[in-house]
Amino acid sequence: MPNGAKMVPAPGRAGSRLRFLGEFVRQPLTVGAFWPSSKSLARLVVGSCAIKPGDTVVELGPGTGAFTELILDRLRGQSRFLAVELNASNVATLRRRFPRAHIVHDSAQNLTEHLGRGTADCVISGLAWGNMLPKTQHGIFRAILRSLAPGGQFVAFAYLHAAWFPTSVRFRRRLLRVFKRVETTPIVWRNLPPAFVYRCWRD
């Protein structure tokens, strides 16, 4: 279990951004953003999850670790952490940056397999839901619901420009249908593209 995960310095900011852009160009359906999340968005996303000692926290689509670093800093080895990333290049970067963290190279649709018999108290999503095919979106959402503990939280961000994409509208309707309470934060303009955060609580 990856408690007390050690971190190594992040790659240079310019190099990281160019590599992120390159991955988006090569794989636009699996890399949903062309630029890493800003510190402002990362702080808002991670701060939206009420993590307690002993909780199990899952991150889906961590990319190059913009959220991961803040999550591990909050956990401080007192909780279980699991990150699921589909892109092989990002997995290599994450494992180099966070060598003691539990990083899984797989689709988020298979989350339940990696949690085993346990459940997650908080699932933090770095996935671009508005960029997904409906079948993929449905499979990942179903895996999240199967994995989330009663009273657990789901936190996800959405890009402002994609808010009215059919897949984004479908995602928002699904959140409102299945969660006890759903909140949206103010827009983070200091992100490229601008984004906001969904904070959801289960019964």
Q: What is the DSSP string of 26-42?
A: H-TTT---SSPPPHHHH
Helix, strand, coil percent content, the chain, rounded in steps of 5: 40, 20, 40
Quick one: tokens of 149?
């503990």
The pLDDT assigned to 37 comes to 85
The pLDDT assigned to 7 comes to 47
Strands 56-60 and 80-85: parallel
The pLDDT assigned to 24 comes to 43
Give the mean pLDDT per block of 10 residues along the chain (203 residues): 45 49 45 70 95 94 95 92 96 96 97 93 95 93 96 96 93 96 97 95 93
Reported pTM:
0.83
- CA dist 181 and 39 (Å) reads 26
The pLDDT assigned to 1 comes to 39
Tokens 């200091």 correspond to 190
Summarised one tens digit per residue, pLDDT across range 112-160 is: 999 988 899 999 999 989 888 999 999 999 999 999 999 999 999 999 9
| Domain 13-201 part of CATH 3.40.50.150 | yes
